[in-house]
Amino acid sequence: MAARRRGAALRLCATVFLLDMAFCKGYVEDLDESFKENRKDDIWLVDFYAPWCGHCKKLEPIWNEVGLEMKNIGSPVKVGKMDATSYSSIASEFGVRGYPTIKLLKGDLAYNYRGPRTKDDIIEFAHRVSGALIRPLPSQQMFEHVQKRHRVFFVYIGGESPLKEKYIDAASELIVYTYFFSASEEVVPEYVTLKEMPAVLVFKDETYFVYDEYEDGDLSSWINRERFQNYLTMDGFLLYELGDTGKLVAIAVIDEKNTSVEHTRLKSIIQEVARDYRDQFHRDFQFGHMDGNDYINTLLMDELKVPTVVVLNTSNQQYFLLDRQIKNAEDMVQFINNILDGTVDAQGGDSILQRLKRIVFDAKSTIVSIFKSSPLMGCFLFGLPLGVISIMCYGIYTADTDGGYLEERYEVSKSETESPEPVEESREKQEPRSGDSLVPAVQEPKDVLEKKKD
């Protein structure tokens, strides 16, 4: 009886799940070739996928949830998906080069999504890009609301100016990453002090930084560097994004499940340096921690002991390892200063030797991972080709040996068949014919021969 109830409950849950999935799919439109002409009057969030792509299949339930959520909140953004293999010409026009590719299409503009593939992050991207490029902040209340909602945002303060034109250009390029606002000087909080107007500010980490054209260079590059919080929980995707900033990344590599003093101490030291030495290092350094050393070991092609601190230069794949024991924030600051003045040797890089090392390392890692995950599959993938090659080599070797033997036999038989003829000829020359005299013939005189003729 109990087994029947459990079975009925499982069937009910499965039915509810399938109905829920079908309900969510109803808010995601399957797009075809007509989409190219019909899309221009709307804003579209589109997933370009391939039916055989594993990542695309993993994204599908999340994408259905995105469609349902956007419909529930009354968003003007329509959600769709397109099989890029069936409509390859349309996909190529939108610059689709891999699967899945998420794009927000707004008029003649197409914005790529490069963030984590989670429902909340995708919806946040859609809200940010589908709205105004630069959003006005008309009051202090609105400013405070934005400050509570967003961890990082940029504000232009002032009237029309060449700086505002640069700000608009930068926003059109980087709106996929962060928010851009404009405000008057009266709206800005009282703790903000400005030496000159107009100005561009970034608000993050419960403080703000002012753009300085002479120290910070190009405005777009400065915004790209400052769009991250000063301290972050690192992963592979975030490190890839930080590669565009040109900053060095100081990471405490720890085991978050390990609550020992050494693990928590290194993390606290990095957090303290990021907080207390922000003005000194924020232009050149990004700080954070990473749980586990698997990704770092792959990146460095080395085995790092946990816990430790590593400083990465993600733009050229160089890295710096500790040359001292870090006991406090002052030791870490000294280590960072030594990196900046060049007294700490950099390892790694993108030289030809390092690239060859990377190829060998990646091949080795792939083989090991295959054998660890599925030994039988590994034996099949690598054992079968090796067996075929071995058989081919054996066949070639034996073919050469038999060929040499046959050739030798042919030469011997040929010599046997050809050699009697000259021997017989020589014998004929040497031995007299039957009836011939053994005494050599004596030539008769010419006059005697003439008489015999007569």
Does the pLDDT of residue 12 top 50, yes or no? no
The residues carrying an active-site annotation are 53, 56
Q: Given this model, what pLDDT does residue 295 score?
A: 86
| β-pair partners for 308 | 253
Q: Quote the CA–CA distance of 421 and 425 in Å, as a whole number.
A: 6
Structure confidence at residue 434 as a pLDDT band (50, 70, 90): very low
Q: Which fold does the domain 230-350 belong to in CATH?
A: Glutaredoxin (3.40.30)
The CATH number given to 132-227 is 3.40.30.10
Does the pLDDT of residue 427 top 50, yes or no? no
Give the residue extent of every domain in the chain: 29-112, 132-227, 230-350
Does the pLDDT of residue 73 top 70, yes or no? yes
The pLDDT of 385-399, averaged and rounded, is: 77
CB 333 within 8 A of CB 276: no
The CATH number given to 29-112 is 3.40.30.10
Q: Given this model, what pLDDT does residue 17 score?
A: 41
Nearest alpha-carbon partner for 238 in 304, 177, 298: 177
Q: What angle do CA 200, 203, 208 make, to 5 degrees?
A: 80
Q: By percentage, how much of the chain surpasses pLDDT 70?
A: 80
Q: Matching CATH topology for 29-112 and 230-350? A: yes
Query: DSSP string of 312-337?
Result: EETTTTEEEE-SS---SHHHHHHHHH
Q: Given this model, what pLDDT does residue 411 score?
A: 52
Q: Given this model, what pLDDT does residue 450 score?
A: 47
**Greatest CA separation for the chain:** 160
